[in-house]
Structure 1
Amino acid sequence: MRVVVVGGGIGGLALGAGLRRRGYEVAVYDRDTDVASTGGYHITLDGRAQSALRELVAPATVRRLLASGSALRLRDRDAFWDRRGRLLGHGPELGGDSGIDVDRITLRVLLAEEAGDALHLGRAVSGVGQDADGTPHVLLDDGDRVPADLVVGADGTHSVVARYLAGGRTSSPAGIVGFSGRTLRADLGPGERQRLGTRSGLAVGPRGAALYVGFLDPVGNAALDAPELRMSVTTGPTYIWGAMFPESTATDSLRGLRAGALRDALVSRFDGQGWARHTLEVVARADPRSVAAYRFHAAPTRAAALAPWPAGRVTALGDAVHATPPTAGMGAGAAIRDAAALLRHLGDVRDGRTTTAGAVALFEAGMRRRGSEVLTRGMRTVRLILATDSTLGTAALALGTPVLTAAARLRNR
């Protein structure tokens, strides 16, 4: 069986790696020329995503991943703050959590190594089609036409493959624009280091403004104590933060800024909405080269609305089907689980137990359930943030915050 995978993001590389390891003829095409040329942020992989990864790559690669990952179980409990930095509550205990945070670059490089010569960089797919006998093919920008027994779109939110299958886009803007960056813990003052701690947290203010601060330390909090295997991009305690604002003309103007100008504009935007100056220190002291803007996209949360096409010899996975806002923290993990599930079902085709279309039908049914789960979780936070972007929402936040703050203080006595 020859499989063509369109897109060399996390899901596409994971599938390519798994197919190559199982002896399939596979080609992964990606427009990037360097797998390390990607956002320098982090990805959370829960226990299910890690189990799926073990089906796709060699045990030695999993060990390198764990040695380069920051263990959630070693973090403090997550926190929830208001815009003045007052504690509103905590998340669950993480002592028994098997999840890890890992640099996106690190994970992509590891998967690319596993994909090996199946990965073709600098080759963009411009179209998909099927011959009269049903044989699918992809068209490359350079004019090449590549036939396959199965084509899989892993080409993200604006997927060429999913658009071909659905006859239109499979996701839409979620109403929020995000801005992200990296700040070394050592660059913060003692007060903010103590307040933020070794945890991740979220603060939501009026008018839809929110600030997520994630803690990443693949060295001090390594999931596997094997420094000789470590290849993390992050080499010390670091906060990976994400600022969020509702889409508007003012927010769109920020998207045109870069580096230090964007960082300073974000601080000014929060400051103008009454955020305490100390809560903005993590943004103000970020590495300006790390600051970037991106638009939240989301697919429908209903499982029945995902992958709305008849099963056949062209399919898609990950964000191409269930584009998920980063507020879920599960998008990449879901794509890896998609890849492992498709590989399992293709094993039934190889063994003669079903047809390619039959395997794809079973795969897509499971993918719809996975996608609905992560989308529901991610959109819950998006809707919470957007709910404050109104006079009523702002008033409710103002009334509720003192009560929540007082309750948190009583619990901590």
Structure 2
Amino acid sequence: MSGPLRVLVIGAGPGGLCLAHALRREGVDVAVYERDASAHGRQQGYRLRVSPDGEQALRDCLPERNIGLLAATAGSWRDHEIAAYDEHLEAQWAPPLGDPRPDSAELISNVDRITLRQVLLGGLEDTVRFGKRFTGLEHDHGRVTAHFADGTSDTGDVLVAADGSRSRVRAVVRPGDEPRDLGVRTVFARIPRERAHAGGLAEVLQDRFTYVIGKQGHLGLMPMIFRTRPDVAGHTWPELRLEPAEDYYLGVFNIHREDLSISDSALHALSGTALRDLVLEHTANWHPALSEVFHHAEADSTFLAPLRVVPEVQPWEPGPVIGLGDAIHAMPPSGGVGANAAVQDARTLAAELTALARGELGLTDAVERYQREMAGYAGASVELSLRIARWSMKKLDLDEPDGGAR
């Protein structure tokens, strides 16, 4: 490099923020641009499973203070195994999760996604710019300039696309290279644990990672039991202002669009209350202990998302625009591996960009080395997520002879 390396990151999700921390620690100049107006700008999903590899990547990227607060607010209940049932509450076979980590007060095995984002923002107050919607980029004399909807721009040596499965950066540099739509529509909801128990949630569903595989739908129920409530643990770092949160279940209902009686456009227009009612309608004939689970969901935090996947991780042209996380290897949330792959990306890419900044590698070599390693673990993650999706859903558009709709 002829001067200090400057890295632009588009997207302040777990991967982008972990990358920023790792680069800052090595003295690399980095700026993160996020389209949300603030850290509280939109629904980000809820509980995330953290795999052993994901936990190690977090520890490798983050300062000790952030790790300490993340461990304090992590889930106290570990996903030892999946319990599976049919809609009549008859036990079914389920693939083992497997987790060799011993329980401890420092273990990070599941986290609340909103809390995770707030903790990851700690120490990056001068690095993350909110309200910046990426609109395009241009190259000039070996540098790359990002443009934003508010008329501003920034120039760096490297631009990292960490802006998710609907990446605007990818749309610019690899038009048409979109994740495939699996045809599955997912309703996510937060179900307060106390409310669900008071409402008669079956004891067999209260303390485990549960999948219910019905003939036309699949319901997942995962407990998020905070080790310490975020607003209480956050007293050690008051500037972060962690949001209060009570224990809850992440409720997930998957259904193929062919099994719905409304159009896709109408489905996406439904309110949280209407989505909750939709789930109740499709589970009305299930066992009573199952059919009422979504009755306790918070309507204002219930939202819809389509399942998408990149069936095979393809490297991008090795240059100054680099894909990270779902922007390059989108996968369904089954198995909870997507965010883990993203933070592994952050660790891997940070090491290569640090070598670039020190003059130990050229840009092409640094990107090729990152993409080669990333393709290995990300490809395995995609395969795992699809295997679990096929086990639970039985019908995915990816399995159609024509490859499925994009």
- TM superposition score category, shorter chain reference: 0.7 to 0.9
Q: d(CA) in 2 for partners of 1:255 and 1:89?
A: 33
CA RMSD between the two structures? 2.6
Q: 1:29 to 1:198 in 2, by over 3 A?
A: same
SS in structure 2 opposite 1:376? Answer: helix
Q: d(CA) in 2 for partners of 1:61 and 1:25?
A: 20
Q: d(CA) in 1 for partners of 2:98 and 2:369?
A: 36
Deviation at 1:104, TM superposition (A): 0.9
2:21 corresponds to which residue? 17
Give aligned pairs, total. 379
In structure 1, what residue type is equivalent to 2:337?
Answer: M
Deviation at 1:336, TM superposition (A): 0.8
2:15 maps to 1:29:
no
* 1:264 corresponds to which of 254, 262, 277: 277
- Where does 1:137-286 land on structure 2 (aligned, <5 Å)? 137-189=145-197, 192-207=201-216, 209-219=217-227, 235-248=245-258, 250=261, 252=264, 253-271=266-284, 274-286=285-297
1:46 corresponds to which residue? 51
Q: d(CA) in 1 for partners of 2:256 and 2:328?
A: 24
- Where does 1:75-114 land on structure 2 (aligned, <5 Å)? 77-89=81-93, 91=96, 96=101, 99-114=108-123
TM-score, normalised to structure 2's length? 0.86
Q: 1:352 to 1:94 in 2, by over 3 A?
A: closer
Q: d(CA) in 2 for partners of 1:234 and 1:150?
A: 37
2:370 corresponds to which residue? 363
SS in structure 2 opposite 1:215? Answer: strand
1:54-100 deviation digits (Å, cap 9, x = unpaired): 22221111010000001454x66431011112222464676746551
Higher helix proportion, which one?
A: 1
SS in structure 2 opposite 1:157? Answer: coil
**The 10-residue stretch of structure 1 (160-169 or 335-344) with the greater mean CA deviation from structure 2:** 160-169
- Where does 1:129-140 land on structure 2 (aligned, <5 Å)? 129-131=138-140, 133-140=141-148
In structure 2, what residue type is equivalent to 1:87?
Answer: A
- Where does 1:272-311 land on structure 2 (aligned, <5 Å)? 274-300=285-311, 302-303=312-313, 306-307=314-315, 309-311=316-318
Q: d(CA) in 2 for partners of 1:43 and 1:151?
A: 27
TM-score, normalised to structure 1's length? 0.84
SS in structure 2 opposite 1:173? Answer: strand
Given that 1:29 and 1:119 are in contact with CA atoms closer than 8 Å, whether structure 2 keeps it comes out as yes
Given that 1:20 and 1:118 are in contact with CA atoms closer than 8 Å, whether structure 2 keeps it comes out as no
Given that 1:216 and 1:237 are in contact with CA atoms closer than 8 Å, whether structure 2 keeps it comes out as yes
Q: 1:269 to 1:254 in 2, by over 3 A?
A: farther
In structure 2, what residue type is equivalent to 1:60?
Answer: R
1:156-212 deviation digits (Å, cap 9, x = unpaired): 1111222333232331212210001111222235752412121111011113x1001
Q: d(CA) in 1 for partners of 2:364 and 2:98?
A: 44
Q: 1:357 to 1:115 in 2, by over 3 A?
A: farther
Q: 1:280 to 1:95 in 2, by over 3 A?
A: farther
Given that 2:188 and 2:253 are in contact with CA atoms closer than 8 Å, whether structure 1 keeps it comes out as yes
Given that 2:118 and 2:242 are in contact with CA atoms closer than 8 Å, whether structure 1 keeps it comes out as no
Q: d(CA) in 2 for partners of 1:147 and 1:95?
A: 44
Q: d(CA) in 2 for partners of 1:66 and 1:38?
A: 24
